[in-house]
Each structure stands twice: as C-alpha cells, then as structure tokens.
Structure 1
Amino acid sequence: MTHATPLVLVIHGGAGVIRRDMNPAKEKAVRAAMSKALHDGYAQLKAGKPAIDAVTAAITVLEDDAHFNAGKGSVFTHDGKNEMDAAVMEGESLRAGAVAGVQRVKNPILLARAVMEHSAHIMLIGEGAEAFAREQGITLVDPAYFRTEERWQQWQKALQEDSGKKPHDDQAAAKHFGTVGAVALDSAGHLAAGTSTGGMTDKRWGRVGDSPIIGAGTYANAWCAVSGTGWGEFYLRTVAAHEICMKVSLLGEPVQRAAAEVINQEIPSMGGNGGAIALDANGNIAMPFNTDGMFRGWIGADGVPHVAVYDDEPDPTNHQPAPAAPSSTE
C-alpha cells in the first residue's frame, strides 16, 4: 500500500534581531498574519492545487501586511525609495521567475510568478519588470502605498547613523534582515519555493540581495525546496539555497542536517547570519537560524497553523542549537 503524500506548507517572516520585549500588540499581529498566511496557503493544497499556488497565496498575505519587510512593509533605500525583489521556483519542472528593484508592484511575488509562466526569461528588473507587470495585469500602485511610519523612522535613524550623529546599535544589524518566504509540498508530491523582500534599510546603488537570485535565497528541485532570510551577501557567496538542496538530493543528507550545515555552520564561519526554511519531498521540515529569532510557521497533516518567533519555542525540526551569531555591522 502506498502512503499518501503529506500536504505541507512552511513559511518565514524574516530572521534577525527579534527582542522578547517586542510590543505585545505587534507580536500578536505578526503571529495572526503568519497564521492567516498558513491558512490561505494550505487551503490551496487541500483543494488539490499545485505547491506554487500555496506558496504565492501565503506570501501575498505577508506582502500585504506592513509588519513584514516585503510589499507594503518594505524598508527605505538610502535615497528614500522602496525597492522590492521576489522569486519563485517549481521543483519538479525547475521553472523559475524573479524580479528585482521594482517600486510600484503591489505584490512582487505575483509578478515573479508571471515572469516564470508568461515570459521567456527568468529575471526582470526595474522599469522593464514594471512594464511587463502592466502587460500581465499585475496590480501597480503609487509608490506612496509602501510608506509606513515605522519604516520611515528606521530610515531616518539609519541616515543619522550614516552621518555620525547617532551611534550604531541594533539597527545596524537589523538593516540586513527582513524577508518573507514559503515552501510547500502538494498532493502530487511536487515542491515549490518563493521569497519576497523589501531589501536592506539604507541600501545604495541599486543593491540586490539573495532573495530573487535563483539558488541563493530561493531554490527548489524534485527533492528539496528552500527560502532563505538573512544577510544576503553571504547567501549569495555560498549559493545557500542550492547548496542545501544539493546536500539533500545528491548526498542523501536529511534536510534538517543539510540546512543546519549551511545556515548554522558555513554562513556564520564567513561572518554572516540569518535563517532559512527547507522542506523535502517526504514532508520533513527544517527551520534553522542563528539569530535572536525567526518568524516562522508550518502547517501539515493536522491542518492547524503553528507559529513560532523565538529560539526556545518548540517546532517540529529539533534543529541543533545555533552557534553564537557574529555581529552583522558594516
């Protein structure tokens, strides 16, 4: 007798400096948004839809919530703009789509999917990506839509630190973090991954991190799907998402071990930090991180959304304790 393929969805809302003295109302709102993302994404899986539908449904919820650095809650660049990146990938077909540096796209993850499904390309950037969005009927908004007071104040603080008027503190570390992502396993046994981000606070010169780069912050094949969150330059240098999946698919490593080796050993050894979510074709989950916390959630056979934030909250992965994270100041 064959066993039915488990339906699994895993999401993250970013890793980094997450204090236990977070405003209770904010923490409640974040957890509620994560639960809604899990609910909406899992509904797609329960309806027999492909994993990519679950991934994009979940990420769209997070992009529409200002608490996360993606979509509505995207951070400001050094020039006072909001520039967003996103990527999706299907494991079975290896189809992928990505966008970078968009400023008017309400849901970058939907545009990344449109690139995958309706263009001959994998990555589109800036004005060209937005022209394609118009052709595809993807919702565009006035850039003012992305302005939130919290992100504005974070940008002002970063500018003061740049000018030497204020000492660097946790903001310097926190500026590298803020991403949302999802990985899913559908009833056909197929995997998909997606990641969306507002980038790095106070970034300059059109900097692009790992999130929209296939293999670095986002990757899926027939055996494994990964979405990363952390200091992007190190995920780019290690091709982190791809490396995790290669350990699973080529070396036969359990997904928890493979993810922990890259996230909790290789990246910190180079001076970086962050986290990731990973899922294998048997429904096994990994959620390693080496920071104060990582907004993360999962839903499986019980159909109940589970959300965690801090490093001592229980999760199904039993990941090994992370080594002390290095400082991510510039």
Structure 2
Amino acid sequence: MGSWAIAVHGGAGVDPNLPLERQEEAKKLLNRCLLLGISALRSSLPAIDVVELVVRELETDPLFNSGRGSALSEKGTVEMEASIMDGPRRRCGAVSGLTTVKNPISLARLVMEKSPHSYLAFEGAEEFARKQGVELVDNEYFITEENVGMLKLAKEANAIVFDYRVPTNTCSAGAMASVETPLQMNGLPISIYNQETVGCVVVDGQGRCAAATSTGGLMNKMSGRIGDSPLIGSGTYAGDLCAISCTGEGEAIIRATLARDVAAVMEYKGLSLQDAVDYVIKERLDEGKAGLIAVSKDGKVAYGFNTTGMFRGCATEDGFMEVGIWE
C-alpha cells in the first residue's frame, strides 16, 4: 500500500489584477473539488474514477473554461475537448469538437473503455455519444452571458484570446468592475480574466496514476481548432511513474509534448517529480506560457508554471492540503 495524492487546476495565466471576489470564488471551487477527490480516495476508488469525478464537477460549474462556461468559437458556439489516461496500462481516450455532450470527460473515458479507438472527434464523437446514451444538452447550455461579452470584445480587438484576459470594457451584466492595470492586449487595457482549461491528476493508495483534462479552448478560436487538452502526451499523460495535466498556450504545449516530457525526464534522467516539472517548464516551452500539475506513484505532488499565476490545489494522504493562485 502506498500513499495517495491529488492535484487539480483551473488554468494558468491569471491577470495579477483579478478582483479578490473572483479569486475567492475560484479557490472555493478548487477546494470543493479537492474535498470531493479526497473523499473518493478515502473510499478506495481507483485513480481513474477519481479524476473523472473531479473533472465532471469542474465541467458542471461555469467558473472555469470547460463544459458549461466554455470559451466561444468565432461562430459564437462551443466546441469542447477532453482526454483521460489510466497509468497502469497507459490506456487513454480523447474527444474533440463536442457541441452537445454535457460532460466531455466522461465521453473520453467511454472512448477508452467502449471503443477500439483512442480519439474521436466532431460528428463521429457526437454519434458515439448518442449510441452510448450519455447525457446530451443544447449548445446554448454551455454558453454564459459573460463569455458572449468576451467574444464580442475579442472580435472588436481582432484577437484570439489565448492569454486568458480580455479588455476592461467587456464589463457588462455578470462581469466584474474595471480595475486599473498597466497590462494591455492589442493596445487595449486588460483587467478581466478569461478562465482556462481544467484538469486533475491522482495517484491512489495502490500506486495507480491517472490524469484528466477538459477545456472549451480559446476564445474566438477558428472553428475546428484542436488544442493540447485532448492530445495524449501534450495536455495529458499518465504512466507507471506519474500523471500530468497541462494548461496554458496550447500550441506551445503541443510543440513541447509537455506532459509526456515530465515522465520522460523522470524515466531517462532519473529526476524527481518536482525537478522534472521545473525542468520542462524552464527548458521546453521556448517563449510559450503554460503550467501543469503532477503526481508520482510514491504519493508526491508537484506543480509549475511560467505565467503570473495558476489556479491550482493539491492534497496528500498525510494531511497536507493547499489551494493557491500565485507563486
């Protein structure tokens, strides 16, 4: 018997002027998800069940960019993606281009367990969802008033919002008040955080590692764009040694195969979990911005990011628990 550990994230690249009220809302959600995962681990649920359970909770709450509350494409619709990986046999499942599946992470798991494939996308994924009897909803369910306002301003700025912030004058019903800030995007002041990818990594008491990641992608993205979150080895990875979930600038994470690289330097260079995380964040992102959470089979937990902040939380069997945003 080993020691369990769990970590969750809600995106990297936080505006340093993010209002305290929104910071507290995020911390409460992450704390709730940690407690949900801790309870499941104490009940001896396997790691793969726990990561799915926690990410479903994150997909259901509109605060972060996954499931309900997902970022909008240039067409004003939601196209979601997710992946899940079970470390012991490196089984995995991934989905992209979902428009009606209420919980993308659960469909990703069904791809892993109920199909001969690892990855289904767009109409093929939706058809598979219907055959599996998963809960479906209208695309409007995922769209929030705040994200409609963010898309409007992203279009006015002619920008794909990948740095998780939008200009101050997006404030409308449901958005927070403007905050003085020296930061700019395309020459416009920035003050509102545009939530990002969610993820969870777990090692259970049997030493089994698992990872799950889910997102709505980039605000104002081209229809059909696929990011790192559903790509095994980039946004998500789990094996015998560890499990990793990434967040941030998807294209940079894809180029770096960031999640797999953490496991690789542990395997080939003999680095510890935290040293491996620090190495890939420093050496593998070039000029990209990203963050990640990780657990190892011996019950260690780690995280790293090169952005101003990352919404994250972690807990271990020995009683340690932490929820944070900044360094």
TM-score range, shorter chain: 0.7 to 0.9
Counterpart check, 1:107 vs 2:103: yes
**Is the alpha carbon distance of 1:47 and 1:232 closer, same or farther for their aligned partners in structure 2, counting shifts above 3 Å?**
same
Counterpart check, 1:57 vs 2:75: no
SS of alignment partner, residue 152 of structure 2: helix
CA distance in 2, matches of 1:173, 1:250: 41
**Is the alpha carbon distance of 1:32 and 1:17 closer, same or farther for their aligned partners in structure 2, counting shifts above 3 Å?**
closer
Is this contact kept in 1: 2:75–2:223, CA < 8 A? Answer: no
CA distance in 1, matches of 2:244, 2:7: 10
> Offset at 1:153?
1.0
Amino acid at match of 1:8: A
Within 5 A, what are the aligned runs for 1:59-138? 59-138=55-134
**Is the alpha carbon distance of 1:65 and 1:275 closer, same or farther for their aligned partners in structure 2, counting shifts above 3 Å?**
same
SS of alignment partner, residue 225 of structure 1: strand
| Structure 1 residue aligned with 2:250 | 232
Amino acid at match of 1:88: I
> Offset at 1:262?
1.1
> Offset at 1:171?
6.1
| Structure 1 residue aligned with 2:170 | none
> Offset at 1:185?
0.5
Amino acid at match of 1:23: P
**Is the alpha carbon distance of 1:38 and 1:215 closer, same or farther for their aligned partners in structure 2, counting shifts above 3 Å?**
same
Counterpart check, 1:211 vs 2:207: no
**Is the alpha carbon distance of 1:303 and 1:129 closer, same or farther for their aligned partners in structure 2, counting shifts above 3 Å?**
farther
CA RMSD of aligned residues (A): 2.0
Within 5 A, what are the aligned runs for 1:1-330? 4-19=1-16, 21-162=17-158, 167-169=186-188, 178-267=196-285, 270-303=286-319, 305-311=321-327
Aligned residue-pair number: 303
CA distance in 1, matches of 2:134, 2:318: 34
Per-residue CA deviation, residues 109-151 of structure 1 (Å, 9 max, x unaligned), is 1110111111111000011111111111211111110111111
CA distance in 2, matches of 1:303, 1:170: 42
Per-residue CA deviation, residues 67-120 of structure 1 (Å, 9 max, x unaligned), is 100111101111111111100001111100000010111111111011111111
CA distance in 2, matches of 1:238, 1:7: 28
Per-residue CA deviation, residues 140-185 of structure 1 (Å, 9 max, x unaligned), is 111110111111111111000018x99444769977x710001101
SS of alignment partner, residue 71 of structure 1: coil
CA distance in 2, matches of 1:173, 1:309: 15
- What TM-score comes out, normalization by structure 1 length? 0.87
- What TM-score comes out, normalization by structure 2 length? 0.88
**Is the alpha carbon distance of 1:170 and 1:36 closer, same or farther for their aligned partners in structure 2, counting shifts above 3 Å?**
farther
Amino acid at match of 1:265: E
Is this contact kept in 1: 2:9–2:293, CA < 8 A? Answer: yes
Is this contact kept in 2: 1:9–1:183, CA < 8 A? Answer: yes
**Is there any run of 5+ residues in structure 2 with no aligned partner, and where?**
160-166, 168-184
Structure with bigger strand share is: 2
Amino acid at match of 1:252: G
SS of alignment partner, residue 2 of structure 2: coil
Amino acid at match of 1:273: K
CA distance in 2, matches of 1:296, 1:99: 24
